[in-house]
Structure formats: structure tokens, C-alpha cells
Amino acid sequence: MTRALRESLQHIITGEVTDAQDVRKVYSRDASLFEIEPEVVVYPKNVEDIKALVRFVGERRAFDENISLTVRSGGTDMTGGPLNESIIVDVNRHLNQLKKVGSNYAVVEPGMFYRDFEKETLKKKLLLPSFPASRETCTIGGMVANNSGGEKTLQYGKTIDYVTELKVVLRDGNEYVLKSLTERELKEKIQHDTFEGKLYRDLFTLVREHNEILKNARPDVTKNSAGYNLWDVWDGEQFNMPKLFVGSQGTLGIITEITVRLVPAQPYRSLVVAFFDEMGNLAEIVDELRARKPTSLESFDDKTLRVATKFFFSFLKLMGSKNLFSLAWKFLPEFWMVLRSGVPKLIVLIEFEGKDKAVLQERARETAKFLNGRGVRTRIAKNEYDARKYWLMRRESFNLLRQRIKGKQTAPFIDDIVVHPKHLSVFLPKLYEVLEKHDLLYTIAGHIGDGNFHIIPLMTLDKEKERAKIEPLMNEVYKLTLSFGGSLTGEHNDGLIRTPYMEQMFGKEVHQYFEQTKKLFDPLNIFNPRKKVGGTLAYALKHIKRE
């Protein structure tokens, strides 16, 4: 079947198709704890190839219920989002071009790496600020599919706030332009007796008739990637289809072009590093820090610090210096601090950005003084290079864990929970209590200004006893998070791991609206099945990798 499928696909597209075992093995994994081997991997060369793929799969679905299309680009997803058993569509190889950088926007194909995209936008002193910690390896398409956020989200918002227009191949195999429509433009669109007209008409009916229920279903958090963003589609004046597609994880159609709004890149930064020995008044302090309007308010725990210490020279290499011993000298203040006062329980990074260097330095001094008055130790980074070591600890801890811990694997299954920051002082002790009960080695880092935490357990996944911890721990952590009105995912999305919990999070009625949305766009279930809706925990647990 695999060979026949490969040959059939090669006849209809100009790009490459492979069913080589070694390639399929590579595409069986992402950054999640899952492994699912596809039948075929396709590298479409252009939009015409994407159209041909959608039409082919739509026709084959009549006699092959398992055939589907799952788009992949950077492979950095932590939920199993780009994994599937049928056809993987890799847009990173060919659909990776930056088409235009305007005065405050850019037009880009989905497979372009963010790192390359940013190099070009910075030439015009512009920035897409919603990049995640995987900024060096993720793509723009992945950021849109997951509604990514990161260290600048506190001030700038998430990817959904920057996407203004999309080109998408829908289930009929045609490419459509999706953008915000006025009420007059929408009424004109839905009058057409076409595939597109019916789709707009049916979606408008859904969001209009259930508008109040959908608005109330939106989690009381500053970041959310769970479910479909139905509450953002219609505000009474604008009908914004792109807001539904952002975060839909490739389940409604295939994105072929993205237009994003850009912001001016600020030239100067100041960083205050806060070392918390206790967290009893954390919520109150974070609330005060948020009021000071920092660009970033990030955190990592003592376990993350120990990881950086354990793999010290590997960490130093990330700093980009050839003289590692000279660079190690730069960490002397931190070593002395730990020797004198012990390892802090939590490290918080407070960064300010702007155009006036002196003003930023003063804001840093005032913030440090405030924290010192609350019994919190602080350091003000001397320069960008001094600040970089703290940012690398925050950004690269997951990769250090993935690459350096022998005999154990990173297992991101409770990796993106969010609660309102006002709950932190009560929520965090309860969270630690749950985690300690399950006898795990783990680290916690995240966006404390948003109440968004990435918990990364390290596990021996080839042992049944270890794998048996996953479901009970998920149930407890998710139950705790939802009891505080939180979200199960702030930026990583649902994928295989959280889709089974969407009804618990949103309730049966809203979950049915998610299912209706999927059927409107994809009645044959050809786009990335088992994600957002239709996934089961049994299927996810069955596909946990063993090594």
C-alpha cells in the first residue's frame, strides 16, 4: 500500500515523495513524547502541489478511510501535532520564501524558519514579537498553527494578534484568501451560492447564534491555545476568519501564505534578575511587576538552574564563545551568591525595552529596589552579553534536557498550563505538591507574568511503571488548573496529548461547537485527524515512544 500510494502521489505533484524507511522514522517524531510512523512523506514544491494533494486525498477518502494530510514544517511541536499515520506534508523544504517586507508588515510562506525571517525584518528594524523559545528552529507556519507566544507576549500579545491575512487551500482543493471582513462585506460574501459562500454562511450562523456562550467559554487567562478560537471570529462589526485558523493546528485546511503585522524593534534593553528564596508573596509581587509594564516577565526554577550547572560547559558553548574558561569567569557572581545564600527556589527575569537607554536603566534600578524591599535578592545585568546567560537558561533548558540526560527522556505532557497570575501564591504550592507526590524528576520554566508554566518531566519511557504515571498525573494537574479557571495550554496547543481533555475544559455544549466547526471545514476528516477534536487518550497513550 505504501509503495502504491507513493507512486500515485508522485504522478500528481512536481515535488518529491518518499516512503524510505529512514525518512519515515525521522517524521515519526517531533519534540513531543509520541512516535507515529507515516506511510509517505511529501515535499510540495508550490501551491499547485498542495491543491493536487487535497483533491487526491478527498477523492481517495471514498474507499480509504485512513488516508489524510498532516502538515509539518520545523518539527518543534511538543504535542504530537504534526504526527500521523498517513501522508506528512513537509512545507519546510520548498514553501519557505519571504515574499515581501513592507513598512509594517510581511508576507511569508509557512515553511520559513523564524530565525531567517527575523534577520530580514530586522534589516528594516521591524519584528514579529510572538516568537516562542524555539525561535531558532521553529517556522512561521508552525507559529500560526499553534498560536505561539513567548517571552514578549506579556506586552505584545500572541501570534493571533499579528496575522492579518492568510491564503489557505480548503477541502475542495482551491486556494482562498482569508481576511477580516466588515459586516457589509460579509453579507455580500454569504449571498453567493458557492462553496466559499456556504462556508462563510454556516460559520457565521454558528458564531452568531451561540455568541454569548462562546464568549463566556473563553478562559480567564491572558494566553490560550486550547480549542478553536470561535469567540474571536465575530465581534458584531468584523468577521475575522484568520482568527479561527490561527491555532487550529492544520485541522481546517492547509495554509500556503501568511501576512503578519510587524512592530518596531526596540534598540535598548535592561534586565533585572530576581532570586526568590520563598514564594509566599509571589502573586502580590508579580502583580506589582506587571504594573511596571515590562516587556518580559519570565521564570525558571531551581531545578532548571541545576541543569544548567550540571551541563555547564555544554551551556557555555551555547553562549558562542571559544574561550570557555574566560566565559566561565562571567558566572562568578552567581557562584558566590549560591555559596553565600543557597540556591533560590525561583529565578524571575524582568526585562524592559525602549529607545532611551538611561530611562531603561533607571526603571531597572527602581525595580531592583522594590524587590530588595520585599526580601528578594536581585542582580541588574551589566550589558546584553551579561543578560544572555539568563535568557539561555530560560530558553534552552528543554533542549539541554533532551540532549544531555542519559537514560531518560523529556516527556512534555503537562507542559503548558496557565492560570491567572493573581492565583500564583496559592496555585504553585498545590502544583508542587501534586508533582512531588508522583516521584518525578522535572523542571519548571515559563512566563510567570502570564501565569503560564512549562513543566517538563524526565522519564524512562521504555518502562511500563514510568509510563503508568502519565495519565494519573495529567488528570491531577489538569483538574487543579481548571479549578482555578485556567487553560490547559497557553501556547503549545492541543495535539494528541490535550485534545481528549477539551470537553472537560470547555463543557459538552461548547465542545460540540468545536466538532461542528471541524465538520464545516473538513467533513471527510482529511486534515490532521485526532487533533483539536476526535482524539482519544487511549490512542495517545498507545503511541508514546519507548526510547
| Longest Cα separation, the chain | 74
Supply 315's cell numbers: 551551556
Q: Which residues of 393-425 are buried (b: 16+ CB within 10 A; e: fewer)?
A: bbbbbbbbbeeeeeeebbbbbbbbbbbbbebbb
Q: What's the topology of domain 2-90? A: 3.30.43
Residues 453, 415: Cα–Cα separation, whole Å: 7
Q: How much is the pLDDT for 320?
A: 59
Residues 110, 108: Cα–Cα separation, whole Å: 6
Cβ atoms of residues 496 and 531 within 8 Å: yes
Domain map (residue ranges) of the chain: 2-90, 98-264, 268-483, 497-542
Residues 447, 152: Cα–Cα separation, whole Å: 9
Locate cell 525521522: which residue?
26
Strands (E), 6-79: 16-18, 40-43, 69-72
Cβ atoms of residues 446 and 452 within 8 Å: yes
Q: How many CB atoms lie within 10 A of CB 69?
A: 24
Q: How much is the pLDDT for 474?
A: 97
Cβ atoms of residues 502 and 436 within 8 Å: no
Which residues are CB-contacts of 112 (< 8 A; sequence separation ≥ 6)? 96, 97, 98, 139, 140, 141
Q: How much is the pLDDT for 410?
A: 83
pTM of the model as a whole: 0.93
Nearest to 242 by CA among 150, 180, 157, 195: 180
Q: How many CB atoms lie within 10 A of CB 137?
A: 16
Locate cell 478527498: which residue?
58
Residues 454, 308: Cα–Cα separation, whole Å: 17
Class of the domain covering 268-483: alpha beta
Residue 291, φ and ψ in degrees, nearest 5? -65, -20
Q: How much is the pLDDT for 2?
A: 83
> Which pLDDT tens digit goes with each residue over 286-296?
999 999 999 99
Locate cell 531558532: which residue?
136
Q: In whole angstroms, what separates CA 73 from the centre of its chain? A: 14
Which residues are CB-contacts of 406 (< 8 A; sequence separation ≥ 6)? none
Q: How much is the pLDDT for 409?
A: 81
Cβ atoms of residues 105 and 259 within 8 Å: yes
What secondary structure letter does DSSP report for 19? -
What one-letter code names the amino acid at 11? H
Residues 87, 5: Cα–Cα separation, whole Å: 9
Per DSSP, the residues of 298-338 read: EEEEHHHHHHHHHTHHHHHHHTT-S-HHHHHHTTHHHHHHH
Q: What's the topology of domain 98-264? A: 3.30.465
pLDDT-flagged residues of the chain (< 70): 1, 307-342, 395-407
Long-range contacts at 63-69 (CB < 8 A, ≥ 24 apart)? 67/5, 67/526, 68/525, 68/526, 68/527, 68/528, 68/529, 69/254, 69/526, 69/527, 69/528
What secondary structure letter does DSSP report for 544? B
Supply 201's cell numbers: 454562511
Which residues are CB-contacts of 507 (< 8 A; sequence separation ≥ 6)? 217
Locate cell 528543554: which residue?
398
- At residue 10, the 3 state secondary structure works out as helix
Locate cell 489538569: which residue?
478
* 292 exposure class (CB count in 10 Å sphere: 0-12, 13-18, 19+): middle
Beta bridge pairs of residue 296: 351
CA atoms within 13 A on the CB side of 462: 4
Residues 405, 307: Cα–Cα separation, whole Å: 9
Q: How much is the pLDDT for 315?
A: 53
Q: Which residues of 478-488 are buried (b: 16+ CB within 10 A; e: fewer)?
A: bebbbebebbb
* 523 exposure class (CB count in 10 Å sphere: 0-12, 13-18, 19+): exposed
Nearest to 378 by CA among 272, 271, 269: 272
